[in-house]
Amino acid sequence: MLPAESRREVLTRITYRKGLEDFFQQGPSEEVLNNHPPIGASLATVANIPLVSEKLRNRFTVPISVTMLGTGTPEEPDQVISFISNSLDVPCRDLRVVDFDNQIITSLRERKSPSITPLLTNATNTEIKDNSQDLVVLDYLLNYNPLAISPLILKEASTILRKGGIAIITLASSENIQTSDLRLIPYQELLDLINNKVSINDLRKVYRLAELKDRLTSEALQSIKNTILEILPEGLGYAFFGQDDSETGSWFTPFNQSLSLLQTYGLSMIFCFSYQSRQNTGLTCQKNILILEQARL
């Protein structure tokens, strides 16, 4: 997989950091939620809905084991612990933070928090014991991994989560996707553009366009950058390369398609909060905060 440093350097240091600062100043405001909100903003939204927060509190009565699959900054795990302590009113026995960004994991280790266990590993194979976690958190992780990788991440999340455990997942879906500032390349036009130099499956697997520079002309690469690509026919999947200088991608699928994938791994939706969001990139899409239960037989 692509080294995390090159994939996240701008997004982590600028966008997430700015979102974190805005969150501390404004709380879960519309502006914060519209950009790349830190996980604390999404959790605060959940906490401010009494029926949902009460239902979650009733689920947990003893110290719980928690895993974060991916984190935007070293500070975000603290927001998860705060949510567990203050909103769920239950101690966090241990928070495992899984990421393959060495800088973030090193920073977490240097802080030596007794409640946080940093794990420098892949979210598709965490080596965490099966059926051992009470709560798993994925914060837009599915949008920052190619469509071919997302099912593997969800399978791992489902595997480590105990039956009856809870998953909190934030994701951006392609409902009402708007492209007033961006061009959308339909599926058939995209096939003509890449002209058999790469397969459409390649665009579903790569983290950034630079991985294809030896197989696509510079003109084709330039045409693809900063456009929305329909990489699955009939609007079933989109990719957007160009959210930062390293041309890393974001991936979007319809909400119902994401929900179907979640159900495939035994994750049943308890609650969903959705809102329309316009990002700094000019892309408008639907963002979703989901609360799910591991309900496998």
Looking at the predicted structure, is the pLDDT value of residue 51 above 70?
Answer: yes
Going from the C-alpha of 218 to that of each of 102, 124, 214, the distances in angstroms are 31, 33, 9
| 164 plus 192 within the same structural domain | no
59, 87 Cβ separation under 8 angstroms: no
What is the reported pLDDT for 158?
97
Distance CA(66)–CA(263), nearest Å, equals 21
| 102 plus 214 within the same structural domain | no
Strand 64-69 versus strand 92-99 pairing type: parallel
| 22 plus 52 within the same structural domain | yes
Per-residue pLDDT tens over the stretch 191-228: 988 877 778 888 888 888 888 888 888 888 888 888 88
Q: pLDDT higher for 280 or 185?
A: 185
What is the reported pLDDT for 297?
59
Instruction: Decide: helix, strand or coil at residue 235.
Output: helix
What is the reported pLDDT for 114?
92
Instruction: Decide: helix, strand or coil at residue 291.
Output: strand
Give the CATH number of the domain where residue 128 resides: 3.40.50.150
Domain span at 281: 4-175+253-294
| 263 plus 218 within the same structural domain | no
Distance CA(164)–CA(266), nearest Å, equals 10
Distance CA(43)–CA(153), nearest Å, equals 21
Mention every residue, 6+ apart, whose C-beta is less than 8 A from residue 24.
none
119-133 mean pLDDT: 96
| 261 plus 206 within the same structural domain | no
Return the closest-CA partner of residue 105 out of 244, 7, 14, 5: 5
81-89 mean pLDDT: 93
| 40 plus 57 within the same structural domain | yes
| 119 plus 89 within the same structural domain | yes
| 120 plus 23 within the same structural domain | yes
What is the reported pLDDT for 285?
79
What is the reported pLDDT for 89?
93
Instruction: Decide: helix, strand or coil at residue 94.
Output: strand
What does the DSSP assignment read for 237-283?
EEEEE-SSTT-BEEEE--HHHHHHHHHHTTEEEEEEEEEEEE-TTS-
CB neighbourhood size of 284 (10 A): 17
How many CA within 13 A on the CB side of residue 16? 20
Per-residue pLDDT tens over the stretch 8-32: 333 333 343 444 444 444 444 445 4
Element (H, E) at 96: strand 92-99
| 69 plus 137 within the same structural domain | yes
Q: Tokens 């977490």 label which residue?
A: 108
| 210 plus 92 within the same structural domain | no
Q: pLDDT higher for 94 or 181?
A: 94
Q: Specify which residues 229 forms β-bridges with.
A: 185, 239
Confidence of residue 170 (pLDDT cuts 50, 70, 90): very high
Most confident of 36-40, 42-46, 150-154, 238-242: 150-154
| 27 plus 147 within the same structural domain | yes
127, 160 Cβ separation under 8 angstroms: no
Q: Where are the alpha helices (DSSP H) in the chain?
A: 4-10, 17-26, 30-34, 39-47, 50-59, 76-86, 102-111, 150-160, 187-194, 200-203, 218-224, 255-264
| 259 plus 190 within the same structural domain | no
What is the reported pLDDT for 5?
37
What is the reported pLDDT for 9?
34
Confidence of residue 142 (pLDDT cuts 50, 70, 90): very high
What is the reported pLDDT for 94?
95
CB neighbourhood size of 102 (10 A): 12
Specify the number of domains making up the chain: 2
Phi, psi dihedrals of residue 56, rounded to the nearest 5°: -70, -40
